[in-house]
Structure 1
């Protein structure tokens, strides 16, 4: 009979990355792309705008974006980012330094997940869960922008590690869990806690002795409750009322919850790849445990954590990419336990798919770089110009050398890795690292050109006189644009409907590209601008007519 499986769990395999090589791979995954570009439209600029206000001395407990209080944002990530910006001010622009907070929390996430994987699956699998998480498609962009959700992931991974430690080190495990829950509150608020606390129902299966269940539960809950209690005390009554209303406003109706669930279920197959199929395989391969005995913690804990996170996400926030991040660590932890039991054919297929996908993708990235810098091939070069009118690529030696080194390392890896069930996973995560590193080195000047509001704000400030007085805004600006006006132009427009705004002689309006409407009587358009290639919105500046 043909052996379609690798030998059983007792067999030891060479894990391609462990120790320093593993740290190097994860560092190459985390660091490229965090620095060297402006705050970008959407999440990145918004969160950096809040950090900018902190650096200017505004905010603290209740954060601020432009002139507006931002009570829904919890402060942990922003405090860390502001400290990082100051610490690296001698080396980096403040926004690049601030983004290093994302690298810190992402590294903590991977480290705590490695600890949890070692406790659940054994020493060989300690690297599997962080490699699996780093390879998830949904994590890639968010782990390379200013993103408070990554701080929550670090706290979530700490709670998982704490729960896995309970059997061998019960009191240390409870302290780690409680500290993680406290950190999660400071990172994401009260609404995020149920997804972390619900797995505590497994304490009778995780605690080494039944007599420890109650005291461990009390210690864990006491530490978790410290954050909300202290927060309520530190805020003024008015601030606390606004904060509680914001927390309650996150709750979704049953109908909205169903819609969120459907959106997430449709998104997960690509978003959680390759953790999701490996997690499903783990459940299938160990299906007999559900029928014949109490399932092992290696199954119960990640599955319970995933279900708790899923229920929390669908009931408290709108389903979008960043909201689904808490689903990834439990899936990675569950999937890590099934790698050694994969059929040999499935392992080889996964390995082949990863090698081919990322080799072809790397070649296309190099081709795109050639089109941007040298104009070859001409057709592709014209497409880049069409997407970012006015962009002129230039040759930069260090990024090219870095990209060449990454490409050479990729080919060395795929030809030298030992045969192992871990080979496909290692190649996949290394391929994701290669892909992101090449994009960061070769394409980021083009991406930055199209996603930064810097040239728009520069044009706006040139159109304003030096002593222009206050500027009002009609309607709503996006948070990213509001942040960019503050960061690049020191502009914090007043609402036109406010008493102060009505006295302003200058007014901004964000309008659709094809809009030809006017601002009404009494206003004259003096300037308009948009990001290169932006086909959706334009920013217009109006001046009040004299008399």
Structure 2
């Protein structure tokens, strides 16, 4: 490709205070002051809470109130459980666990920024040098591209909710980004970069599954083969022992001190492989329908960047992120069940590639992206305000009816803090749009600042104005209270049937219930049904008696039934 032609004025720095403010507000909004939400958010919290209040074996073999959790390794759960225990006297458990979520997200942002900055300073990506000067300095150019990459990451639609959940996925996002940073760092500091890459792969082995870890390790070595600037031999020699040592530490400890560790680790490996045993029609259809929106606007900008840099696809700024992104996308396509859990791991590398396409965007394309952001986010923000007002005032009546149809029983409450926060973020959006329209700046990051600001606007409005209704619709607090109120005071333990991980975690936390395993002789049974299966089978001289049945007000599919085991009443035989 031809050299990019831009002037130094196009790399005017985005004010540090503005960039930091966007990141801080984006992460803090919706992080605290809410319950664990259905589904994976509550399940991840359940593992952390079980560890924090359990025995040493619970730390080595992740579980939710005794039910094994094979989907991921324990690293992120360890961090969450540790914070829960440290802050137990001052912060409630869900908020304490989400401190780890916020720190992981900030670390991800840091690795994306610095990785892009290092790539943006390299000679092969520098703009055309004019005869009389005027081109940007490498440091300024790299910093502008790094700002763009971070704004693109924050602008991705799917990251807002996923990035605020109490799951291992947020930690995996950080570790994948750390691996990319390590490869980039090895370009100028080979040993340091290889060590970063090894720590990231080792951490990923403790936070995910063996297959995902092996895939990313091979992808890193493939990047070093594709990009000759990377020190392949040094990366392999330095990173592999570090990664292997970290990865082996937890299984070795579990085998030494946790009963049943061999079976648990075998299930963990099998589940990690079975999850990618081959696509189904439903999983492929789900990906085709949802991935484009989840990764917007990173994927179209990344595609444009690949096109414009097609002559330098083995250069580090293209080869490294793409080599890490392609295997993850293959895993996405091989998922046996539909879900967007892995989509998040693609966003950092796509954002880095996308940033290098910003200098080559035409003015018409930039204007189209900006106006799309202005129109879409302004309309959506207006809709959020209208629904909030309808919930409080009852006007417009049709919106109010639709709201209470979705969340029957919800009672809105007015909060000055909520209102002021929403007004401030809306005012900031109006000021940002006015600045972009009136000034028409020529800086590179102008094409994504509105998208990043708009996504932040929407997330903050949802987590202020709509937080009560969203929390009401996605928590199991009320159901847990109802179940706990109907439990016999002297019950031994609760056996479950078809109860999901999120429900089990919520009931254990909110209701302080004692759950048993399949080997325990429990005298209480809790079932989750989507249809009426009839009463459970009884074994003479005992029978199951229904104590309670109900569901969340906002969920019409789930229904819970609580039974207690009792002796059948003795009946005097009748005379004939």
The question of 1:452 aligning with 2:472 is answered no
> Deviation per CA, 1:60-90, whole angstroms, max 9, x where unpaired?
1211211223344312111211233344445
Report the counterpart of residue 239 of structure 1 in structure 2: 261
Q: Deviations over 1:350-374 (max 9, x none)?
A: 0010011111111111111111122
Report matched runs for 1:336-415 at 5 Å.
336-415=355-434
Q: Does 1:518 align with 2:535?
A: yes
CA distance in 2, matches of 1:7, 1:115: 22
Return the alpha-carbon distance in structure 1 between the equivalents of residues 227 and 460 of structure 2.
Answer: 40
Q: Give, in angstroms, the shift of residue 511 of structure 1.
A: 1.8
Among 480, 489, 492, the alignment partner of 2:502 is: 480
Partner of residue 100, structure 1:
99
Contact 2:304–2:354 (CA under 8 A) maintained in structure 1: yes
For 1:129 and 1:267, the matched residues in 2 are separated by 22
The whole-number CA distance in structure 1 between the counterparts of 2:337 and 2:225 is 34
Asked if residue 507 in structure 1 is aligned to residue 509 in structure 2, the reply is no
Give me the whole-angstrom Cα distance separating, in 2, the residues matched to 1:254 and 1:357. 36
Residue in 1 aligned with 2:315?
296
1:202 to 208, 223, 228: 223
- Contact 2:412 2:469 survives alignment (8 Å): yes
> Aligned partners of 1:411 and 1:233: how far apart in 2?
56
User: What does residue 187 of structure 1 align with?
Assistant: 207
Q: For each residue in 1:416-451, what CA deviation from the matched residue of structure 2 results, as whole angstroms up to 9, or x when unmatched? A: 245234223111111111101011101111111121
Equivalent-residue separation in structure 2 for 1:377 and 1:532 (angstroms): 23
| Equivalent-residue separation in structure 2 for 1:131 and 1:486 (angstroms) | 39
Instruction: Give per-residue Cα distances to partners, 1:208-254, cap 9 Å, x unaligned.
Output: 58xx5423320021212122322332221741453144213422599
Q: 2:447 aligns with which of 424, 427, 430?
A: 424
Q: 1:118 maps to which residue?
A: 117
Residue 244 to residue 280, structure 1, CA distance change in 2 (3 Å): same
Q: Which residue of 2 aligns with 1:166?
A: 186
State the match for 1:306 in structure 2: 325
Aligned equivalent of 1:441: 464
Instruction: Give unmatched runs, 5+ long, in structure 2.
Output: 121-141, 569-576
Cα distance change on mapping 1:499 and 1:184 into 2, 3 Å: closer
Is 1:264–1:319's contact at 8 Å kept on the other side of the alignment?
A: yes
- Shift of residue 123, structure 1, vs aligned partner: 2.2
Kept in 2: contact 1:268–1:276 (CA 8 A): no
State TM-score, norm by structure 1: 0.91
- What SS does the corresponding residue of 2:163 show, helix, strand or coil? helix
Q: Counterpart in 1 of 2:123?
A: none
Check conservation: 1:17, 1:426, Cα contact below 8 A: no
User: Corresponding residue for 1:26?
Assistant: 23
Deviations 1:247-267 (A, max 9, x none): 134225997147656653553
Checking the alignment, whether the CA contact within 8 Å between 1:485 and 1:492 is kept in structure 2 is: no
1:224 paired with 2:243, answer: yes
- Residues 391, 412 of structure 2: 8 Å contact kept: yes
1:7/1:252 CA distance change after superposition, 3 Å? same
Instruction: Return the offset for 1:344.
Output: 0.7
Alpha-carbon distance in 2 for matches of 1:305, 1:107: 21
Distance 1:383 1:7, change over 3 A: same
- Report the CA distance shift for 1:50/1:204 in structure 2 as closer, same or farther (over 3 A): closer
* CA–CA distance in structure 1, aligned partners of residues 311 and 226 of structure 2: 18
SS in 2 for 1:256: coil
Q: What SS does structure 1 have at the residue aligned with 2:547?
A: strand
Q: Secondary structure at the match of 1:542?
A: strand
1:271 is the counterpart of 2:294 = yes
Alignment partner, residue 467 of structure 1: 490
Q: Which runs of 5+ in 1 are unaligned?
A: none
Match of 1:142 in 2: 162
In structure 1, the residue matched to 2:562 is 541
Is the 8 Å Cα contact of residues 269 and 276 (structure 1) preserved in structure 2? yes
Indicate how the Cα distance of structure 1 residues 316 and 515 shifts in structure 2: closer, same or farther if over 3 A, else same.
closer
CA RMSD of aligned residues (A): 2.5
| Structure 2 equivalent of residue 491 of structure 1 | 513
- Alignment of structure 1 residues 145-156 onto 2, 5 Å: 145-156=165-176
SS at match of 1:508: strand
SS at match of 1:251: helix
Contact 1:310 1:327 in 2 (8 A): yes
Deviation at 1:204, TM superposition (A): 5.4
- The count of corresponding residues between Structure 1 and Structure 2 is 531
